[in-house]
Amino acid sequence: MHAKHALGALVVSLGFVVACGSAPPPAPAVPTTAAAKPGAPGAAQEAAKPAMMAKDAAAPPSPAAGAARAPDDEEQVPLPLGETGSYDLKPVALGSHLVVVVTGRWKSPAETLSKLAGFAKLPQNLVDEGVRSAVKEVVGSELHKLVDPAAFADVVSLDAPIDFVVAADTRKNAPEVLAVFSVGLTSLARARAAARVRKLPEIGPGIWRLQAEDGYGPQCALAAAAGRAPARLVCGDRERDLTELAAYAARTRPGEPDPNTDLRVEVTAKGLAKTYGRRLKSWLRGMPSLADELNQEVGLPAGDKTLVEAAQAVADEASVLIDEADGAELGLDVDANRGITLSGQVRFSGRSSWLVQSMLDSAPLAGPAPEIFWRLPGASEVASYGYGGDPARVEPILKTVRRVLEAVLAKQNVVSSLDARVLAGLLRDPLRKHAPFVWASGHFPAGTSAAPRKGGDPMLDAVGGSVGWTLLGIDDAPGPVRAYLEELVRVYNRGTLQAKLKGELGSDAKHLPVVKTGRAPASLGAGALAIEVVVPNLEPMQPPEPPSPAGGPPKTPAPVSLTFNVLLMADGGRTWVGLASDRDALAKLMVTTKAERSGADSLRGRPGLRELESGRHVSGGFSTLLSLTESVKPALLAASTTFGSAGPGAEVEKFLGVLAKMPNKGTTPIIMYGDVDASARPSSSLWMNVPKPTLDDFGHLVGAVVKMVTK
């Protein structure tokens, strides 16, 4: 069994059961903890559990770590849960040839799933039955050749952590990856009794390889374990993964402190860099010579140093990163009050590389969201802010890309040499250094032509309504942006390029978008720009034609066109660019962002954005569940119009009613932001929180869908 496939199957199955809340047939109880009475063997492990599972605190290793447990007798007669004896459970070190590169821990699947189910307001007994059913399903599908599924599922512990370890064998020229994951078991004796083969080969002290009766099957082992579970199932892709990592996964990892989040993954780069760094740098030094040989294939003239210089720059950057890359981590936490919090970080041990210096370039900009962010429409379903980079730092890269792109397009005869030069010239940054920019999207309210509506062609309603509106705001003068947009239109409409596109498309050329500039709405003021993009000759999706009274053939609907509008508006020293299918509604929305009107309907009064107003971040923003539901609603309305009130149309109408009854209407902000630590050991981090009201809304949708499906 592939380790990643089995672990993924377990996670997905458990998550699906919790999300759907379906009530499976009654299943045998799956113990989630090892039963241990005071004073009985295993009691020390049970007593340690509250400390190990304490919220927001890394707990000490279990008192059981390093204790001894007795091997089962030859007949493998099941012993009481929590059996202990003479197994040596002291932590073991990996061989010097192995370097751990990734570790991960799901602290307590049972606790996490219970909290998730609470957001959907599912009864605990329903969740327990669903989890038991999911465990049996995974064991039955992945391990049926090795164990009796029902008996083995009965000893799987979801109170104990699920761990995984990825290590690299450094004895070869290239590292060989080894990986295992381990799941807690409540009884080693009962787990061995559930094995298909009576006599299991011992591949290490206290570790037995599970075997199928026909000799084939997944690569898994049973091991006496330290920590909260007396035993562990350890699986990998190959038998060697087990022999190298099983003891470490069963005795060392379980005794390590729990993370302060429900799930934590950590990547460590230093070990591999120490072993292979010098070798990699030696190989990188040869890149310029290889690049020089590519000139003819790319289309550059002999002696052109563009690729050589680019290769040298890449080699230099990679060499520095080999020394400075430290590691990364990702954490996920579920809290009944705070919701789901996701955090991630990339760490470096130095600050010499181009990548790190570019990252640190934004550190002084950290602060509350810029003023232009608060001018975004109050009805925004998604909004974010950030700061442009330093064009001078990016220009050498763009110059190389332009030169190579121009050569490739011309050599492959994709376009003429002149057209290739014009296209490559579009690759530039038109903004000033560190210009604040914002981005937002949403959907128009009922009553506008781009909003979900009945009548007309359902496809146009679905696409136009789903796209909604998008706004880009730049705290920079409109001149460069306007000039860039006008250039895009001119380049697209070049006669030679159009002829090439139509020739390549053949019969589909009738759908080639028509792009042109036009007069902007007067409300946008001086300096405005309007661009219209029309996709013509689309097949309509109209409701079925009623039978003709005269008995003739039904009327064939005419082709339809899909139109998008791009509008640019100058706002003093700021620039706004909008996209929507409804031009008038878009213009009206954009006017609300102008300085003199921004307080009327802006983000300034939107609740739930305090962190973006008072925190100090280099980027940030929010999303909402409403952005998802409003995107699918037009398609649902189109389906309802197409099918009518019978069959699928009726179900669609029911679901639309469910969307309207979300307890918090899907508007609660899902906050996210990015930070940069500019210390001697710099890092870049990301944080996101899905709050409880959003999860309550999602739980409402899940519960309603389950009722509709199981009715």
339: which residues sit within 8 A by CB, 6+ positions away?
Answer: 119, 689, 690, 691, 692, 694, 695
Residue 267 bridge partners (DSSP): 102, 328
**Which residue, 268, 294, 310, sits at the end of a domain?**
268
Lowest mean pLDDT among 120-124, 393-397, 418-422: 120-124
Q: Does residue 57 lie within any of the structural domains?
A: no
Lowest mean pLDDT among 261-270, 364-373, 587-596, 649-658: 649-658
Band (184; pLDDT cuts 50, 70, 90) = very high
Indicate if the pLDDT at residue 672 is higher than 60: yes
Band (596; pLDDT cuts 50, 70, 90) = low
Average pLDDT (326-347) is: 96
What whole-number distance in Å separates Cα of residue 131 and Cα of residue 137?
10
Looking at residue 300, what is its pLDDT?
86
If you ran DSSP here, which 8-state letter would residue 251 be given? I
**Which residue, 428, 458, 487, sits at the end of a domain?**
428
Average pLDDT (610-639) is: 89
Amino acid symbol at 336:
A
**Does residue 292 share a domain with residue 256?**
no
CA angle 263, 268, 269 (to 5 degrees): 150
**Does residue 281 share a domain with residue 412?**
no
Lowest mean pLDDT among 31-40, 223-232, 265-274, 680-689: 31-40
Q: Does residue 341 lie within any of the structural domains?
A: yes
**Does residue 296 share a domain with residue 239?**
no
Average pLDDT (189-209) is: 93
**Does residue 662 share a domain with residue 523?**
yes
Number of domains in the chain: 4
**Does residue 468 share a domain with residue 617?**
yes
Q: Does residue 550 lie within any of the structural domains?
A: no
Q: Does residue 48 lie within any of the structural domains?
A: no
pLDDT, tens digit (0-9, with 9 covering 90-100), for 154-183:
999 999 999 999 999 999 888 999 999 999
**Does residue 529 share a domain with residue 380?**
yes
Band (323; pLDDT cuts 50, 70, 90) = very high
**Does residue 482 share a domain with residue 400?**
no
Supply 13's token pair.
Answer: 């199955």
Indicate if the pLDDT at residue 295 is higher than 60: yes
Q: Does residue 619 lie within any of the structural domains?
A: yes
To the nearest whole number, what is the mean pLDDT of the chain? 83
Indicate if the pLDDT at residue 691 is higher than 60: yes
**Which residue, 242, 268, 294, sits at the end of a domain?**
268
Lowest mean pLDDT among 262-276, 294-308, 544-558: 544-558
**Does residue 503 share a domain with residue 363?**
yes
317: which residues sit within 8 A by CB, 6+ positions away?
Answer: 353, 354, 355
In the block, residue with structure tokens 């799930």: 263
Looking at residue 608, what is its pLDDT?
93
Looking at residue 217, what is its pLDDT?
83
Closest Cα partner for 499 from 512, 486, 518, 484? 512
**Does residue 583 share a domain with residue 457?**
yes
**Does residue 361 share a domain with residue 290?**
no
If you ran DSSP here, which 8-state letter would residue 51 be given? H
Beta carbons of 153 and 134 less than 8 angstroms apart: no
Q: Does residue 67 lie within any of the structural domains?
A: yes
In the block, residue with structure tokens 């946008």: 524
Domain hosting residue 365, numbered range: 336-389+429-543+557-710
Lowest mean pLDDT among 188-192, 496-500, 543-547: 543-547
Supply 608's token pair.
Answer: 């739930």
Q: Does residue 8 lie within any of the structural domains?
A: yes
pLDDT, tens digit (0-9, with 9 covering 90-100), for 421-453:
999 999 998 889 999 999 999 998 865 554 444
Q: Does residue 38 lie within any of the structural domains?
A: no
**Does residue 124 share a domain with residue 248?**
yes
**Does residue 312 share a domain with residue 199?**
no
Looking at residue 71, what is its pLDDT?
47
Band (2; pLDDT cuts 50, 70, 90) = low
Supply 78's token pair.
Answer: 């099941």
Indicate if the pLDDT at residue 587 is higher than 90: yes
pLDDT, tens digit (0-9, with 9 covering 90-100), for 29-63:
334 433 333 333 333 333 333 333 333 333 333 33
